[in-house]
Amino acid sequence: MQNDKIKCGLTEQTDSQFVDTIEKEAYVWCEKDWNHDQYEHSHERAQLTFVEEGYQYFHIDRKIYLVPQNHVIWIPSKKAHKITSEAKAVNLMVFLFKTVFNKNFYQNVQVFSVPPVLKEMLLYASKWNKSLREDEEQDIFFKAILRSLPNFCKESNYLEIPVPTDERLIPVCNDLNINFKYNLDIENLAEKAKMSVRSLQRIFKNETGITLQKYHQLVRILKSIELIDTQQYTLSQISYLIGYQSLSAFTSSYFAIMKSKPRVLKKQK
């Protein structure tokens, strides 16, 4: 018995297979309180996702990309991806493009903060939410968004957590993800990996492209973004919960990764 579901205008026939019967070159799909099946899937259309509220993790090619509020992620055509999030509310705009321009930018995953001009363009495009009718203004406008993306990405700002292929490093990553609050204990991590400290540092850097210290910092900032999203803590409390000894140390670390200062979101009334 076939049980087809519609997601972002695409017909899902299995848990990873989507069929595209839409003629339009591009369209947008906006939803509040977004719920997504947490399994890997792919589709023919290239995808631009704007996170208007909350945050999402995109698992792509053994990397985990964090896309916080007011950021976008570009996913090329046919690129398998899985999406997870523990945010209490996720509001998204998903743009799907049948064809793209012939530039390297469009062939790779891109994550970057949305400058004001692009944000206004994306929000304006919401007037065509879920519309599959032909519309000349929409076609021109969406093509302008698509063509401009490489320019907006010049100040690339993203959180990318690599996933190592060497099985010996998995317990190390698991430990860092669980015990992020505590100071880095490289000797203990080396024991978990059953190798020397020097070997661990060298192999981890070769596998992931970053040091253990950088990985530890990234995990802490990821956790801070999750805590900020709950709207339950002050920045001082968050800095303590993720292991920083002072608010200034946390703010400095956050800025080094995000290129902006952390701020607590106002509670919705």
Predicted local confidence at residue 7, as pLDDT: 62
- Secondary structure E strands in the chain: 5-7, 10-12, 18-19, 26-31, 46-53, 55-60, 63-68, 71-75, 82-84, 91-97, 110-113, 159-162
Q: What is the pTM of this model?
A: 0.78
Question: Tens of pLDDT along 70-103?
Answer: 889 999 999 999 888 877 778 899 999 999 999 9
Token digits of residue 250: 């946390």
Complete domains list, the chain, with CATH:
5-159 (2.60.120.280), 164-258 (1.10.10.60)
Place of tokens 């519609």: 6
Predicted local confidence at residue 56, as pLDDT: 87
